[in-house]
Amino acid sequence: MKKKPSKEKKYRVVFVLGLIFWLGIIFLFSSEQNLRSSFSYNIDLVLRRTAHIVEYFILTFLIYKVLFFFKKPSLKSIFLLSLSYAFLDEWHQSFIVGREGTVRDVAFDLVGILLGLYFIRKLKENRIEVNKFKTGESGKKSKKSRKKS
């Protein structure tokens, strides 16, 4: 009789495939020669900067989810992997006609990475608080117990 894959294995596959897909999307956008919208220059600039932030927020979260299935990742390792891909992406763009790799773009990627790490940290804190609530433990000390310590 065949064993059904566990829920965790299914999630692992989904997030690994999601990460590979997202890395491909970033690579694809970086390969476009003239990535401009039909909006005015200022609106186009805001859209492109926002895209950098959102791309790397999502990338950071996906890296966290994939690493989490294999070990408990540190925020530092997630940060380094995300930032490394940002630099590789800009280096890749330097080979594309009509594009250039800039440190300024990496700075916008960094904003997305830092927002992603903040989100992950808050998610972890919330998960801990939820687990304490489920087990009946108090997440915060009462005023009386704080005065005693």
The domain ranges of the chain are: 7-148
Specify the pLDDT at position 129.
67
Specify the pLDDT at position 64.
95
Using a 10 angstrom Cβ sphere, with 0-12 exposed, 13-18 middle and 19 or more buried, the burial of residue 143 is exposed
Specify the pLDDT at position 41.
81
Taking the CA atoms of 47, 53, 57 and 62 in sequence, report the sign of the dihedral they define.
positive
Instruction: Look up tokens 């950071």; give the residue.
Output: 60
Q: What is the pLDDT of residues 76-100, one digit of tens each?
A: 999 999 999 999 999 999 888 878 8
Decide if 5 contacts 42 (C-beta within 8 A). Answer: no
* Amino acid, res. 8: E
Give how far the C-alpha of residue 27 lies from the chain's centroid of Cα atoms, to the nearest Å: 16
* Cα separations in angstroms, 31 against 24, 87, 91, 110: 10, 15, 11, 20
